Structure 1
């Protein structure tokens, strides 16, 4: 029997645009379960502990990718060694890349209505198992460093949506192709950073021959347990959903060659054969950034303080949907 709980982020884009949205969600949920609007991390922890005590086994999350990351981390802590609840994505954020990876296109209220219809008929929801990354104590799905953090710092100054992000990336690419003659933004965010990377059980450098030593200056580092980055059709080719491995891609290319790789990935092309792109499936990774302690997890900018970032595999979660789930 499914016991439903919904956690809503009042700062999610869909809620900010329509303050009555939470009321409509609460009215739709009715006797099927419990809905909570959390305004702080501490309140979120308390709600997850209450859900555990009430044996809630299907948790709907209203918000963006950062909200999902925070809720999963709080659920993992609250449920401990007991079975984790299944997750229902009720997308309401800016980018919603996780929903895109699962093929969920409808907005939160419609998705909830369709889910409750299936539960009422005692039919089974579609499911997919996703592995998580455990990065410096927080769960998520996509880790990024290097240029990605510089881009997010700029993007959040006038945060819009996926279309706005695409326009901003396009402006950087065009500026780079024209050697900074448009606005100089390309050079502003695109610079290599000195880092050291270790991955286990295999070293990332085993995938290609390195003549002298492992490269230590990088433009971009990504790690993921899902296949798609925002704005791409498929970026990580080695990811298999729920297999308890992640993929890391480290890029030490720069300048116009970096632009070439970016254009190729945005068009769905394979970047693995580019000379300064390294990739490996891994279970643990240690990254030390010597210049910038910031990194991104599911779109949230976080500070590692000392530049040290520890990544390991987190728990698997079962994601449910009333619609067919992309594999």
Structure 2
């Protein structure tokens, strides 16, 4: 059959703000695709099996980075040895790191989809960019994986009423003020976790970590792009791990915004392929902004290389 399969996450913030999106997508794709809104993981699995069996050429995801985590993890398992189709991110999340990193041409999901459908019908070659996924513990796949500071920040971020760029920027500003005045908030975000980290056979020389982050995309949100090595070497991703204090990290924030090395002596900053993290106590972690249950060990390996449509 081919065509375009579109997954819509109805719980994504952008979709909640724009009711009727499924109907608009159906009007745009016509007979050249299928639009399925999935309210739980069982429905997502069923939709992806349908797209796989119909040999969809493009799978679009209208949701946020967390939606992509669930979709791509299942696609890798369901497609098995078959080549994955092109992936099309349609912005509907609170941050949309993936769309920003790949340079998606259009912000409006309907406009993006209409442009891609037009190219598809006219037989034009889609403009694509490739990225490596990161395989986590042999079963999950994503492009940003982390523990420590990032999970603490995300918990505060999600606790607000209206997650979004303004909420994230406001929380970042409040953390800076907390550090200046020595209040407890910054201490709750920048905590130290005990772990042993091995990167490509090399022991990372710290025992206490405030931050462990691995990414195959440049951005982490709000225009902050600390992962300047994320696309440097095929089959690798960027690893940032160390014991940097809140003051040190805030002092280097401008470098993270510019995509420059942090240049901190207590921050491991390098490309990585095989990483094993053994925590002294089970720790929660995040993949693409989704906070997952605590684990004792995190194993990170190169995942499949996938192609994203830029629009």
Q: Which residue of 1 aligns with 2:174?
A: 171
Describe the SS at the equivalent of 1:237.
coil
- Once the two structures are superposed, residues 189-226 of structure 1 have per-residue CA deviations (whole angstroms, 9 ceiling, x without a partner) of 222111111111x5264xxxxxxxx2110111110111
Superposed structure 1 runs of 4+ greater than 3 Å apart:
266-269
Does the 8 Å contact 1:129/1:242 carry over to 2?
no
**How many angstroms apart in 2 are the aligned matches of 1:312 and 1:3?**
32
Q: Which residue of 1 aligns with 2:209?
A: 218
Describe the SS at the equivalent of 1:290.
strand
Query: Paired residue for 1:251, among 242, 255, 277?
Result: 242
**How many angstroms apart in 2 are the aligned matches of 1:258 and 1:56?**
44
**How many angstroms apart in 2 are the aligned matches of 1:265 and 1:204?**
25
Q: Which residue of 2 aligns with 1:139?
A: 141
Pair 1:255–1:39, CA change in 2 (3 A) = closer
Q: Which residue of 2 aligns with 1:55?
A: 55
Does the 8 Å contact 1:194/1:291 carry over to 2?
yes
Q: Which residue of 2 aligns with 1:211?
A: none
Provide structure 1 residue ranges, at least 5 long, that are not aligned to the other structure.
206-213, 323-327
Pair 1:143–1:88, CA change in 2 (3 A) = same
Following TM superposition, by how much is the alpha carbon of 1:2 offset from its aligned partner in structure 2, in angstroms?
5.3
Residue correspondence of structure 1 range 229-240 to structure 2 within 5 A: 229-240=220-231
Following TM superposition, by how much is the alpha carbon of 1:90 offset from its aligned partner in structure 2, in angstroms?
0.9
Mean Cα deviation higher: 2-11 or 260-269:
260-269
Matched, 1:160 2:157: no
**How many angstroms apart in 1 are the aligned matches of 2:307 and 2:185?**
41
**How many angstroms apart in 1 are the aligned matches of 2:203 and 2:123?**
47
- Once the two structures are superposed, residues 23-74 of structure 1 have per-residue CA deviations (whole angstroms, 9 ceiling, x without a partner) of 1111211111111111111221121111111111211111000101111111
Query: Paired residue for 2:252, among 261, 284, 294?
Result: 261
- Once the two structures are superposed, residues 155-202 of structure 1 have per-residue CA deviations (whole angstroms, 9 ceiling, x without a partner) of 11114212210110111012102222xxx31122222111111111x5
Query: Paired residue for 2:276, among 282, 286, 290?
Result: 286
Matched, 1:270 2:261: yes
Does the 8 Å contact 1:66/1:298 carry over to 2?
yes
**How many angstroms apart in 1 are the aligned matches of 2:300 and 2:130?**
20
Residue correspondence of structure 1 range 60-209 to structure 2 within 5 A: 60-104=60-104, 105-136=106-137, 137-158=139-160, 159-180=162-183, 184-200=184-200, 202-203=201-202, 205=204
Following TM superposition, by how much is the alpha carbon of 1:262 offset from its aligned partner in structure 2, in angstroms?
3.2
**How many angstroms apart in 2 are the aligned matches of 1:292 and 1:89?**
33
Give the TM-score, by structure 1 length. 0.89
Following TM superposition, by how much is the alpha carbon of 1:298 offset from its aligned partner in structure 2, in angstroms?
0.4
Does the 8 Å contact 2:9/2:38 carry over to 1?
yes
Following TM superposition, by how much is the alpha carbon of 1:124 offset from its aligned partner in structure 2, in angstroms?
1.1
**How many angstroms apart in 1 are the aligned matches of 2:86 and 2:40?**
22
Pair 1:116–1:52, CA change in 2 (3 A) = same
Pair 1:246–1:268, CA change in 2 (3 A) = closer
Following TM superposition, by how much is the alpha carbon of 1:99 offset from its aligned partner in structure 2, in angstroms?
0.4
Instruction: Number of aligned residue pairs: give it.
Output: 308
Give the TM-score, by structure 2 length. 0.93
Q: Which residue of 2 aligns with 1:298?
A: 288
